[in-house]
Amino acid sequence: MTTRTFEELVAEAESVSVDGWDFSWLDGRATEERPSWGYSRLVGERMAHAVAALDIQTGGGEVLAGVPRLPSLTVATESWPPNIALATARLRPRGVAVVADDDEPRLPFGDGVFDLVISRHPVTTWWQEIARVLQPGGTYLSQEVGPRSVGELTEFFMGPRPPGSARDPERARAAAEAAGLEVVDLRLESLRMTFHDIGAVIYFLRKVIWIVPGFTVDRYRSELGTLHDRILARGPFEAHATRFLIEARKPV
């Protein structure tokens, strides 16, 4: 149990950078189970046999940076300037071109350029564009945020949410098929998360902005104080992240 005050934890969590998708700042302060399929391992396996690959919404380039062997032509897109800088510094030494893109159609590539397209936790999946830039026989592999992910945290701050979710795996299947792709793998898992102090909660909500849209410490200071007291009294706050894996192929 932390001995630091609420204000000390808040000040620390507000001051730290949230650029990129490296969550190592949370080590020892929050935990999250990982999906059983091992997305990074799957990406590495696909990359080893690809000729031309595209990583959409690469963040800070964390996924590509961990791939042992990259195709001779590997490109990544990103929209947020701080992440573009991080990804460029991380990936340029490995020969990866990082392209600034607004994450809206069209993708800045010609038709049928890539035999592998990947994306981890895309904000929006533009299936028609993915189908367009894939070669016949090419593969799209993505790990996406699933329905009502970390809903316990959302509802703590914002109250009960309406049922349903735009991030339903079956909606993704239907959209992929409507774009002319064949879904060959689709899996969904619920993963336990724990937050050990209010600083970890603040950092997470600053970084993963869709959990509590419009989150700021000032706006939710009262709720943060209540949650801080609850963690001190009851122990870590528990939530559940949902993730789904989808793999689709473009017919030959």
Beta-carbon contacts of 231 under 8 Å, excluding residues fewer than 6 positions away, are 195, 196, 197, 198, 237
pLDDT at 1: 46
Residue pointed to by tokens 């945290």: 153
Q: N- to C-terminal Cα distance for the chain?
A: 57
Reported as a pLDDT band with limits 50, 70 and 90, residue 219 is very high
Q: How far apart are CA 166 and CA 179, in angstroms?
A: 18
Q: How far apart are CA 118 and CA 57, in angstroms?
A: 9
Going through the chain in order, the beta strands assigned E by DSSP cover 30-32, 52-55, 73-78, 97-100, 114-120, 134-145, 182-195, 237-249
Q: The CATH number of the domain where 42 resides is what?
A: 3.40.50.150
Q: How far apart are CA 66 and CA 73, in angstroms?
A: 16
On whether residue 157 sits in a domain, the answer given is yes
Concatenating the DSSP letter of every residue in 45-112 gives: HHHTT-SEEEESS-TTTHHHHT-SS--SEEEEEE-SHHHHHHHHHHHGGGTPEEEE--SSSSPSS-TT
**Phi, psi (5° rounding) for residue 203?**
-60, -45
**Phi, psi (5° rounding) for residue 8?**
-65, -45
Number of domains in the chain: 1
Residues 136, 250: contact at Cβ < 8 Å?
yes
Residues 112, 133: contact at Cβ < 8 Å?
yes
Domain span at residue 86 reads: 6-249
Q: How far apart are CA 109 and CA 88, in angstroms?
A: 19
Q: How far apart are CA 209 and CA 195, in angstroms?
A: 17
Is the confidence at residue 163, as pLDDT, over 90?
no
What is the residue-averaged pLDDT of the chain? Answer: 96
On whether residue 1 sits in a domain, the answer given is no
Q: What is the pLDDT of residues 64-123, one digit of tens each?
A: 999 999 999 999 999 999 999 999 999 999 999 999 999 999 999 999 999 999 999 999
On whether residue 101 sits in a domain, the answer given is yes
pLDDT at 134: 98
pLDDT at 133: 98
pLDDT at 211: 95
State the average pLDDT over residues 33-40: 98
